[in-house]
Structure 1
């Protein structure tokens, strides 16, 4: 995983979130606040997707190519759980 890039993106989201907090404190127009929240959600989803892609290309491939059946099952179960959680939100 490219930690520097991920951290940079998360810090950008953090700054954006602080801006939204200010907007709410200053009683900004509700739709403007919602649009900014949606932008933050999209940015977080992008970070999450990149982390997942890195995980699939490293940890998951290693486990699938390995000889430990329990480790393969564990890793695949984790991926399934991540997708199940994403549909619950």
Structure 2
């Protein structure tokens, strides 16, 4: 993808995912340390939500990027609709 312009928020999304990865590593340590299941479940829910929020940000950023790219490159409406339908599955 070197020929495609960088999406506006990829650095922010990567930062969120690194944070979620660190959080997940701590949850694994909790399980290995036999922490109470309710606390582990609570922390897993937080990781799940953080990853979900990052996914939504990525999809929204892609949609914005796709629409900007459409204006610049004059792609066909059918191509844009197809791409939006494809990425929307992940919302």
- TM superposition score normalised by structure 2: 0.74
Match of 2:47 among 40, 46, 52: 40
**More relative contact order, 1 or 2 (CA 8 Å, 6+ apart):** 2
Paired residues for 1:24-35 under 5 Å: 24-35=31-42
When residues 4 and 77 of structure 1 are mapped into structure 2, their CA distance, relative to the original with a 3 A threshold, is closer
When residues 55 and 77 of structure 1 are mapped into structure 2, their CA distance, relative to the original with a 3 A threshold, is same
Task: Give the 4+ runs in structure 1 shifted more than 3 A.
Answer: 60-67
Of 58-67 and 36-45, deviating more is: 58-67
Where does residue 19 of structure 1 map in the other structure? 26
Structure with the bigger percentage of helix: 1
Paired residues for 1:53-68 under 5 Å: 53-60=60-67, 62-63=69-70, 66-68=74-76
CA distance in 1, matches of 2:53, 2:20: 11
Where does residue 12 of structure 2 map in the other structure? 5
Where does residue 81 of structure 1 map in the other structure? 89
Unaligned runs of 5+ in 1: 84-89
Unaligned runs of 5+ in 2: 1-7
Of 30-39 and 52-61, deviating more is: 52-61
Q: How many residues align?
A: 83
| CA RMSD in angstroms, aligned pairs only | 2.2
